[in-house]
């Protein structure tokens, strides 16, 4: 082995002791490059000896001499992973006479102090703790000797703001340690070059990639919608295998599946809501073979070593190819072994999506990881951190640090704008070309070491039963709640009475109109390409190309046949269908969550502007539900969709997003990272609906838009869809309600788009009030008929229930006496005048029907004002404006104030 | 009696013998206090002063009445208040005679005012209209009058068929139960107008206020008689309909 000869002889001995007879493919390719001093991105499936590939040559280099501080930083995204890496590295280090240690949020004070006095040669840590290393004076000194930085699971960090923060921190590190060698360890990604640049910036970076696709053997099964049959399908598998990992998409599924399987014995559950001890215990028991099956969420996706896994079951669609590859890659955890995975699917969407994702996984078509370029809040956070680190520093120096990383800013102007923003929040002071730290900055930093948005939970307290009925997320409270709001929790309606002292006080609410806010949190979006391929599969029915499972093919064909038999139209990649339903209008579009988000929002914004009403919006990867009032028809939605101009989409969204709860939620998160709001800010102090106005700083807004458009809304694919409609490549048709449109999966994302102006909101409220207004209808012909009703129930042309005449006067509900007075046989002059007034009223109803009744039921509007309004010949919103004007005039009269 | 509404305050102007413009709850210095609660935003004090001066020029009253809570910090006066209150009053003195009825946030306000600009906090009469901030039991002499008060920051939620469409400051007008006065007199009914906050950052839902009333006046308002008005005087329905939205809704 010639390659090994470059390794230090001591490490070759240790490798022999460890019992490695030969190097794996990954190791053979990676080790020489690292020994050569290259920056390296190493891409290989989990369990192929990635960590050792990087660490053997690094340890060899460390043997050439270590200084008084740290020599190597090993950074992973998870504390659990840190512990695992330490377990594996301790052995190597001990045998080589090196020291190792872990430092992260769980590390004890005593351990931390020890590390300050005697820094280990190899420090295993998280990106957030790297931030903390710069804050202590003595720790900073220990950074000077660093020669290697390994970033593990870099695919998981590169797409997030944590990653952005980390690569800026690496540039900060260069100011102490000079240039050091950077090694990134990654699972398969679609864009290795971009990820390598993320790691090293403009420095050249080698890439070693071991393909994953050949080693995957994935099956897709259909079990049907019933939970019991899903459980029994799983049971069949886990009986056969010696060790099975079952991945589910949500914690609650993990719990219910665990509940169903736990009585079988040999099963345990592992997810993020469980305490650390319980999780570690489950990992250990699985590793030692005490349990055969472990049910887990994405908590087990990253490379924590849990020993041999024979079979991976994915419960429901994995939604992304990379996720499936990662998860199934956990099986056959030995070099050269095939990973066996099974996706258990429950319904049509789930099945088709899984077939497409499995097909793509076999081809190795994994998604790209897109770094957060030029994220303003991260850069702001790092400027504040640098100021604390140095006390005072020149703006040129800051620019040089930040612009060196690949994701930083390239123009000094942007930096200046972010600096002036930070100054406003008292995080830094500016003195000419220098910035100086403030007393607030250190406190801000200790609360904002992490770029992960933190969510506080607020208890919901029922004032009637005097008990806590659940908790709500901060995001939900900020975006949707205020006193008086009604929401759903635990399947019940609640009205908010109070938002104080960190809790939400509620009372049970009765029925209410329309859709209620309920926040489901962020879900894993299905990418555009996958949703489109699902649409193609619906159109071509080439299920055989994707699977050999006869039951799955029969289910899919049977489902489509049934839709057709019921006169439904199947939406595909070339066909968008619009279905009217009791709930509103469903737009079926196979375009993925983010594209549907962009399209759904543009359409609802236009509808709410045109009709002056709030539009409820819910969507998933294949459909958008617009919850609309009855006056908006499926044709209106179609017209709006067809009328969209591709070049207007982005502009419409930018203008209108500001009013949405999604925008407000993101704005608050980003404002926190900018230091405008403390992590534990007391929201009761401020009227929440004003919050977004107060945070309307250009930098905060710009970053909010950047994040929304890069993470939540896929504008470019939405434009592609609209272009395809204009070019007749995609057809749009109205169809009856189908099983596809009616799929009850409407819980992935909800928002409400309010009408654009206060004027429209006021008109809506007026319409609502008038509709509910009680009115007394009396017959002026037979004089023997009166009825009390509400305006919304009045027919267009009311007739007398007794004589059938149309001479009906509309009185206020409390004016019964007027009718009796006018009907007296002998009348005094006053009563005669009254009778004349009622006649005038009835004549108006005779000629204008319900419209007259509507006007007469407004506040303080009598026959004279009503006839003046009728004479304007207005309708719709214009009529409502006339009524509002009349009521305003009445309000100014003396009569109103009595 | 002539009545005019000015949404930019929000403010109301009543003309009897004189034209009097009423605003309430300016809360100068709120930004400084917000810092203690985790919000770090620059002061908008000067914007507020400009807005109030523009409002006075637009309404062109004979007198301006500020119904209390001109400052925000209790107790004491922050540096921001010290600076901005001086600016506010000197700007106003140049254009209009004014009165202040001190509110619960106003201890120490007398340092900034001339004695003749101060009114009794329990309430007083100006041009037949009763004025007070609204955190105290109103003075006897206000019985049977139209009373104007601040303190409550009333805000209304307008809904349409699908959801919440607008949150807006609002006026509340209604009758006051005469039990509020220590000695009931056989007088005309007492009417109350609650004025919304002139500070753009504050607002308090009327559902909350009247579910758990926190002042003598909010406890004594007879809800069945009360109406809700938007800042421009638009009628927004009865208070009862806003407090019992469920019952009026149909499904």
| Number of C-beta neighbours around residue B221 at 10 A | 26
**Beta partners for residue A148, in sequence order:** A72, A181
Has residue A699 been placed in a domain? yes
User: Does A164 lie in the same domain as A17?
Assistant: yes
Report the alpha-carbon angle A449-A452-A453, nearest 5: 110
DSSP per position, A191-248: -HHHHHHHHHTTS-EEEEE---GGGEEEEEEE--S-HHHHHHHHHHHHHH-SSEEEE-
Distance from CA of B114 to the nearest CA of A (A): 31
Cβ contact, residue pair A614, B166, below 8 Å: no
Report cis status (omega within 30 of 0) of the bond before B10: yes
Last residue of a domain, one of A708, A725, A756: A756
Last residue of a domain, one of A737, A756, A775: A756
Report the alpha-carbon angle A47-A48-A52, nearest 5: 95
Partner-chain residue, chosen from B38, B167, B247, that has the shortest CB–CB distance to A681: B38
Report the alpha-carbon angle A751-B166-B232, nearest 5: 165
Range from A444-448, B76-80, B183-187 carrying the lowest mean pLDDT: B183-187
Has residue A443 been placed in a domain? yes
Residue, of A227 and A783, whose pLDDT is higher? A783
Range from A508-517, A770-779, B164-173 carrying the lowest mean pLDDT: A508-517
Last residue of a domain, one of A321, A337, A363: A363
Q: Give the span between the Cα atoms of A844 and A867, in whole angstroms.
A: 7
Partner-chain residue, chosen from A677, A890, A896, that has the shortest CB–CB distance to B38: A677
- Residues of chain A positioned with their CB less than 8 A from the CB of B251: 511, 513
- Residues of chain B positioned with their CB less than 8 A from the CB of A760: 165
Helical (H) or strand (E) element with A653? helix A649-657
Residues 6+ apart with CB under 8 A from A828: none
pLDDT digits (tens, 9 = 90+) for A771-798: 889 999 999 999 999 999 999 899 999 9
User: Does A567 lie in the same domain as A430?
Assistant: no
Q: Residue A361 class from Cβ within 10 Å (0-12 exposed, 13-18 middle, 19+ buried)?
A: buried
DSSP per position, A777-839: EEESSSS--EEEEEGGGS-SS---TTT--S-EEEE-TT-HHHHHHHT-SS--HHHHHHHHHHH
pLDDT of A281: 85
CA nearest to A101, candidates A130, A72, A59: A72
Partner-chain residue, chosen from A682, A685, A768, that has the shortest CB–CB distance to B160: A768
Q: Give the span between the Cα atoms of A453 and A669, in whole angstroms.
A: 6
Q: Give the span between the Cα atoms of A7 and B82, in whole angstroms.
A: 72
CA nearest to A42, candidates A214, A203, A182, A162: A182
Cβ contact, residue pair B241, A511, below 8 Å: no
Cβ contact, residue pair B173, A897, below 8 Å: yes
Cβ contact, residue pair B251, A426, below 8 Å: no
Residues 6+ apart with CB under 8 A from B201: A686, A687, A690, A694, B27, B30, B34, B44
Task: Judge whether residue A838 has pLDDT over 50.
Answer: yes
Average pLDDT over residues A455-476: 73
Structure tokens at A350: 């789930």
Q: Give the span between the Cα atoms of B78 and B128, in whole angstroms.
A: 36
Nearest CA in chain B to A514: B162
Q: Give the span between the Cα atoms of B1 and B17, in whole angstroms.
A: 9
Highest mean pLDDT among A302-306, A333-337, A858-862, B241-245: A858-862
**Beta partners for residue A221, in sequence order:** A344
What is the Rg, in whole angstroms, of the alpha carbon atoms belonging to chain A?
A: 33
Top-level CATH class of B2-248?
A: alpha beta
Q: How much is the mean pLDDT over chain A?
A: 86
Cβ contact, residue pair A483, B205, below 8 Å: yes
- Residues of chain B positioned with their CB less than 8 A from the CB of A679: 38
Q: Give the span between the Cα atoms of A719 and A645, in whole angstroms.
A: 8
Average pLDDT over residues A731-754: 69
pLDDT of A646: 93
Cβ contact, residue pair B160, A682, below 8 Å: no
Residue given tokens 């209008």 in the structure block: A585
The count of structural domains within chain A is 6
Cβ contact, residue pair A678, B173, below 8 Å: no
The DSSP code for A572 is B
pLDDT band at A519 (very low <50, low <70, confident <90, very high): very low
Cβ contact, residue pair A424, B41, below 8 Å: yes
CA nearest to B204, candidates B224, B216, B192, B218: B218
CATH number for the domain harbouring residue A293: 3.40.50.300
Share of residues in chain A with pLDDT > 90 (%): 46
Q: Give the span between the Cα atoms of A605 and A548, in whole angstroms.
A: 45
Residues B127/B16, Cβ–Cβ less than 8 Å: yes
Instruction: Tell which of A672, A687, A757 to mutate to test the B interface (max B CBs under 10 Å).
Output: A687
pLDDT digits (tens, 9 = 90+) for B37-94: 888 888 889 999 999 999 999 999 999 999 999 999 888 888 888 999 999 999 999 9
pLDDT band at A409 (very low <50, low <70, confident <90, very high): confident
Distance from CA of B90 to the nearest CA of A (A): 27
CATH number for the domain harbouring residue A433: 1.10.10.10
Report cis status (omega within 30 of 0) of the bond before B75: yes
Instruction: Tell which of A765, A860, A890 to mutate to test the B interface (max B CBs under 10 Å).
Output: A765
- Residues of chain A positioned with their CB less than 8 A from the CB of B173: 896-897
Partner-chain residue, chosen from A485, A682, A792, that has the shortest CB–CB distance to B38: A682
User: Does A697 lie in the same domain as A555?
Assistant: yes
Range from A334-348, A575-589, A595-609, A850-864 carrying the lowest mean pLDDT: A334-348
> What is the 3-class SS of chain B, one letter each residue?
CEEEEECCCCEEEEECCCEEEEECCCCECHHHHHHHCCECCCCCHHHHHHHHHHHHHHHCCCEEEECCCCECCCCCCCHHHHHHHHHHHHHHHCCCCEEECCCCCCCCHHHHCCHHHECCCCCEEECCEEEECCCCCCCHHHCCCEEEECCCCEEEEEECCCCEEEEEECEEEEEECHHHCCCCCCCCCEEEEECCCCCCCCCEEHHHHHHCCCCHHHHHECHHHCEEECCCCCEEEEHHHHHCHHHHCCC
Cβ contact, residue pair A686, B201, below 8 Å: yes
User: Does A750 lie in the same domain as A766?
Assistant: no
Tell me the domain boundaries of chain B.
Answer: 2-248
Cβ contact, residue pair A513, B161, below 8 Å: yes
- Residues of chain B positioned with their CB less than 8 A from the CB of A516: 163
Residues A305/A81, Cβ–Cβ less than 8 Å: no
Partner-chain residue, chosen from B160, B205, B212, that has the shortest CB–CB distance to A614: B160
User: Does A532 lie in the same domain as A499?
Assistant: no
Range from A227-231, A344-348, A758-762, B180-184 carrying the lowest mean pLDDT: A758-762
Distance from CA of A577 to the nearest CA of B (A): 24
Distance from CA of B176 to the nearest CA of A (A): 12
The DSSP code for A599 is H
Partner-chain residue, chosen from A483, A675, A695, that has the shortest CB–CB distance to B207: A483
Has residue A523 been placed in a domain? no
Structure tokens at A707: 């994040």
User: Does A848 lie in the same domain as A788?
Assistant: yes
**Beta partners for residue A123, in sequence order:** A73, A101
Residues 6+ apart with CB under 8 A from A408: A167, A168, A171, A374, A379, A402
User: Does A51 lie in the same domain as A118?
Assistant: yes
Task: Judge whether residue A333 has pLDDT over 80.
Answer: no
Distance from CA of A801 to the nearest CA of B (A): 25
CA nearest to B52, candidates B81, B36, B30, B28: B28
pLDDT digits (tens, 9 = 90+) for A630-656: 888 999 999 999 999 999 999 998 887
User: Does A61 lie in the same domain as A183?
Assistant: yes
User: Does A769 lie in the same domain as A728?
Assistant: no
pLDDT band at B211 (very low <50, low <70, confident <90, very high): confident
pLDDT of A483: 57
Residues 6+ apart with CB under 8 A from A175: A401
Q: Give the span between the Cα atoms of A655 and A671, in whole angstroms.
A: 19
Cβ contact, residue pair A482, B200, below 8 Å: no
User: Does A798 lie in the same domain as A704?
Assistant: no
What are the C-alpha distances in Å from A73 to residues A119, A152, A770, B6?
11, 11, 69, 64
- For CA atoms A470, A475, A480, A481, the dihedral sign is positive
Residues A358/A184, Cβ–Cβ less than 8 Å: no
Partner-chain residue, chosen from B157, B173, B230, that has the shortest CB–CB distance to A762: B230
Partner-chain residue, chosen from B163, B208, B236, that has the shortest CB–CB distance to A616: B163
Average pLDDT over residues B153-163: 75
Has residue A370 been placed in a domain? no
Task: Judge whether residue A521 has pLDDT over 50.
Answer: no
- Residues of chain B positioned with their CB less than 8 A from the CB of A772: 241, 248-250
Partner-chain residue, chosen from B4, B200, B242, that has the shortest CB–CB distance to A690: B200
- Residues of chain A positioned with their CB less than 8 A from the CB of B241: 769, 772
Residues A428/A392, Cβ–Cβ less than 8 Å: no
Cβ contact, residue pair A755, B165, below 8 Å: yes
Structure tokens at A358: 């499995």
Average pLDDT over residues A281-290: 87
Angle between helices A863-870 and A876-891 (to 10 degrees): 150
pLDDT digits (tens, 9 = 90+) for A545-555: 999 999 999 99
- Residues of chain B positioned with their CB less than 8 A from the CB of A380: none
pLDDT of A284: 87
A23: containing domain: 3-209
- Residues of chain A positioned with their CB less than 8 A from the CB of B207: 483-484, 495, 497
pLDDT of A329: 84
Task: Judge whether residue A683 has pLDDT over 70.
Answer: no
- Residues of chain A positioned with their CB less than 8 A from the CB of B165: 613-614, 754-755, 760-761, 764-765
Give backbone dihedrals phi and psi of A355, rounded to 5 degrees, phi first: -60, -45
A-B contacts (CB, under 8 Å):
189
- Residues of chain A positioned with their CB less than 8 A from the CB of B203: 687, 689-690
CA nearest to A524, candidates A208, A159, A236: A159
Instruction: Tell which of A420, A464, A484 to mutate to test the B interface (max B CBs under 10 Å).
Output: A484
Distance from CA of A304 to the nearest CA of B (A): 38
Structure tokens at A580: 């009217």
Highest mean pLDDT among A23-37, A118-132, A397-411, A617-631: A118-132
What are the C-alpha distances in Å from A345 to residues A295, A355, A780?
16, 10, 68
Instruction: Tell which of B204, B235, B247 to mutate to test the A interface (max A CBs under 10 Å).
Output: B235
Distance from CA of A596 to the nearest CA of B (A): 21
Residues A360/A216, Cβ–Cβ less than 8 Å: no
Partner-chain residue, chosen from A424, A511, A772, that has the shortest CB–CB distance to B251: A511
Nearest CA in chain A to B167: A689
CA nearest to A842, candidates A804, A811, A814, A871: A811
| Number of C-beta neighbours around residue B173 at 10 A | 21
pLDDT band at A272 (very low <50, low <70, confident <90, very high): low
CA nearest to A614, candidates A760, A770, A769, A772: A760
Q: Are strands A503-508 and A492-500 parallel, antiparallel or unpaired?
A: antiparallel
pLDDT of B187: 74
Nearest CA in chain A to B229: A891
Task: Judge whether residue A78 has pLDDT over 90.
Answer: no
User: Does A464 lie in the same domain as A441?
Assistant: no
Has residue A817 been placed in a domain? yes
Q: Give the span between the Cα atoms of A41 and A44, in whole angstroms.
A: 10
b vs e for A667-691, b when ≥16 Cβ sit within 10 Å of the residue's Cβ?
bbbbbbbbbbbbeebbbebbbbbeb
Distance from CA of A218 to the nearest CA of B (A): 45
């Amino acid at each position: 082995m010639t390659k090994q000869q470059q390794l230090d002889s001591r490490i070759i001995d240790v490798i022999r002791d460890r019992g490695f007879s030969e190097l794996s493919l990954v190791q053979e390719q990676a080790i020489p490059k690292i020994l050569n001093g290259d920056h390296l991105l190493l891409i290989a499936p989990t369990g192929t000896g990635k960590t050792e590939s990087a660490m053997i040559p690094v340890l060899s280099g460390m043997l050439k001499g270590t200084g008084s501080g740290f020599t190597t930083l090993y950074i992973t995204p998870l504390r659990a992973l840190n512990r695992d890496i330490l377990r594996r590295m301790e052995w190597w280090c001990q045998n080589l006479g090196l020291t190792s240690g872990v430092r992260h949020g769980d590390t004890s004070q005593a351990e931390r102090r020890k590390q300050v006095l005697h820094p280990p040669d190899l420090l295993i840590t998280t990106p957030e703790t790297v931030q903390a290393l710069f804050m202590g004076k003595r720790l900073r000194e220990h950074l000077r000797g660093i020669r290697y930085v390994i970033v593990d699971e870099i695919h998981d960090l590169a797409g997030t703001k944590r990653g952005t923060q980390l690569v800026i921190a690496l540039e900060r590190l260069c100011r102490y340690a000079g240039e050091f060698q950077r090694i990134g360890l990654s699972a398969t990604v679609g864009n290795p070059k971009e990820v390598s640049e993320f790691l090293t910036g403009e420095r050249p970076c080698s890439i070693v990639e071991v393909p994953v696709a050949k080693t995957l053997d994935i099956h897709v099964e259909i079990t049907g919608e019933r939970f019991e049959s899903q459980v029994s399908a799983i049971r069949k598998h886990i009986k056969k295998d010696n060790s099975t990992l079952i991945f589910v998409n949500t914690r609650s599924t993990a719990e219910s599946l665990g509940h169903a399987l736990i009585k079988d014995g040999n099963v345990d559950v592992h997810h993020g809501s469980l305490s650390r001890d319980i999780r570690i215990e489950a990992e250990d028991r699985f590793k030692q073979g005490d349990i055969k099956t472990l049910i887990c969420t994405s908590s087990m996706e990253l490379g924590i070593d849990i020993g041999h896994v024979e079979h991976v079951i994915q419960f429901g669609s994995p939604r992304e190819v990379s996720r499936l590859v990662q998860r199934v890659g956990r099986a056959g955890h030995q070099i050269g072994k095939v990973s066996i995975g099974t996706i258990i699917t429950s319904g049509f969407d789930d099945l088709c999506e899984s077939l497409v994702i499995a097909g793509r996984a076999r081809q190795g078509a994994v998604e790209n990881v897109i770094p957060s370029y030029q994220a303003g809040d991260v850069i702001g956070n790092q400027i504040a951190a640098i100021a604390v680190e140095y006390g005072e520093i020149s703006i040129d120096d800051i620019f040089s640090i930040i612009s060196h990383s690949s994701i930083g800013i390239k123009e000094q102007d942007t930096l200046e704008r972010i600096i002036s923003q930070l100054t406003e929040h008292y995080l830094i002071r500016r003195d000419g070309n220098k910035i100086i730290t403030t007393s607030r900055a250190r406190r801000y930093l200790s609360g904002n070491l992490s770029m992960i948005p933190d969510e506080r939970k607020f208890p919901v307290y029922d004032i009637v039963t005097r008990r806590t009925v659940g908790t709500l997320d901060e995001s939900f409270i900020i975006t949707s709640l205020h006193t008086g709001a009604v929401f759903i929790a635990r399947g019940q309606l609640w009205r908010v009475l109070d938002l104080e002292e960190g809790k939400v006080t509620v009372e049970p609410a009765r029925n209410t109109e329309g859709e209620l806010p309920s926040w489901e949190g962020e879900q894993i979006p299905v990418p555009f390409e996958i949703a489109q391929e699902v649409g193609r599969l619906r159109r071509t029915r080439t299920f055989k190309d994707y699977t050999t499972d006869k039951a799955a093919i029969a289910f899919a064909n049977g489902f489509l046949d049934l839709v057709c038999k019921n006169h439904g139209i199947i939406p595909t990649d070339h066909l968008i269908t619009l279905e009217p339903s009791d709930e509103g209008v469903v737009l079926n579009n196979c375009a993925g969550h983010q594209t549907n988000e962009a399209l759904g929002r543009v359409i609802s914004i236009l509808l709410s502007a045109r009709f002056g009403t709030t539009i409820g919006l819910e969507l998933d990867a294949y459909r958008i539900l617009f919850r609309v009032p009855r006056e908006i028809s499926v044709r209106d939605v179609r017209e709006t969709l067809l009328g969209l101009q591709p070049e207007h989409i982005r502009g419409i969204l930018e203008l209108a997003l500001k009013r949405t709860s999604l925008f407000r939620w993101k704005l608050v998160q980003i404002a926190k990272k900018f230091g405008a709001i403390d992590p534990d800010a007391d929201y009761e102090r401020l009227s929440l609906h004003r919050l977004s106005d107060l945070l309307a700083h250009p930098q905060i807004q710009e970053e909010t838009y950047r994040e929304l458009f890069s993470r939540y809304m896929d504008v470019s694919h939405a434009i592609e869809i609209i272009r395809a409609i204009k070019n007749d490549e995609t057809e749009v048709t109205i169809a009856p309600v189908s099983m596809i449109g009616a799929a009850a999966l409407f819980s992935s994302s909800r928002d409400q788009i309010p009408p654009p102006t206060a004027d429209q909101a006021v008109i809506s409220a007026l319409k609502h009030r008038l509709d509910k207004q009680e009115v007394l209808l009396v017959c002026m012909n037979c004089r023997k008929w009166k009825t009390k009703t509400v305006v919304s129930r009045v027919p267009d042309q009311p007739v007398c229930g007794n004589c059938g005449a149309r001479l009906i006067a509309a009185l206020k509900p409390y004016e019964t006496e007027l009718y009796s007075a006018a009907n007296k046989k002998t009348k005094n002059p006053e009563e005669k005048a009254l009778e004349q007034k009622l006649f005038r009223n009835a004549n108006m109803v005779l000629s204008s029907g319900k419209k007259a009744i509507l006007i007469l039921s407004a506040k303080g509007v009598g026959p004279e004002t009503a006839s003046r309004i009728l004479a304007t010949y207005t309708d719709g919103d214009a009529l409502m404006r006339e009524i509002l004007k009349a009521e305003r005039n009445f309000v100014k009269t003396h009569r109103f104030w009595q | 009696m002539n009545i005019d509404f000015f949404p930019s305050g929000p403010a109301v102007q009543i003309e009897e013998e004189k034209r009097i413009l009423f605003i309430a709850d300016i809360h100068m210095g709120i930004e400084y206090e917000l810092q203690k609660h985790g919000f770090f935003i620059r002061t908008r004090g000067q914007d507020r002063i400009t807005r109030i001066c523009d409002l006075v020029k637009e309404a062109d009253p004979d007198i301006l009445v500020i119904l209390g809570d001109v400052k925000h910090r209790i107790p004491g006066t922050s540096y921001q208040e010290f600076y901005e209150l001086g600016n506010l009053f000197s700007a106003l003195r140049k254009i209009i005679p004014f009165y202040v009825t001190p509110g619960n946030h106003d201890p120490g306000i007398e340092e900034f005012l001339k004695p003749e600009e101060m009114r009794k906090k329990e309430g007083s009469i100006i041009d037949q209209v009763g004025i007070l901030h609204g955190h105290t039991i109103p003075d006897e002499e206000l019985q049977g009058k139209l009373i104007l008060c601040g303190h409550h920051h009333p805000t209304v939620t307008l809904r349409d068929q699908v959801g919440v469409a607008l949150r807006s400051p609002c006026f509340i007008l209604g009758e006051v139960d005469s039990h509020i006065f220590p000695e009931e007199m056989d007088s005309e009914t007492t009417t109350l107008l609650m004025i919304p906050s002139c500070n753009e950052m504050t607002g308090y839902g009327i559902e909350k206020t009247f579910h758990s009333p926190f002042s003598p006046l909010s406890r004594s308002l007879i809800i069945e008689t009360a109406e809700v008005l938007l800042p421009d005087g638009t009628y927004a329905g009865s208070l009862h309909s806003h407090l019992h939205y469920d019952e009026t809704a149909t499904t």
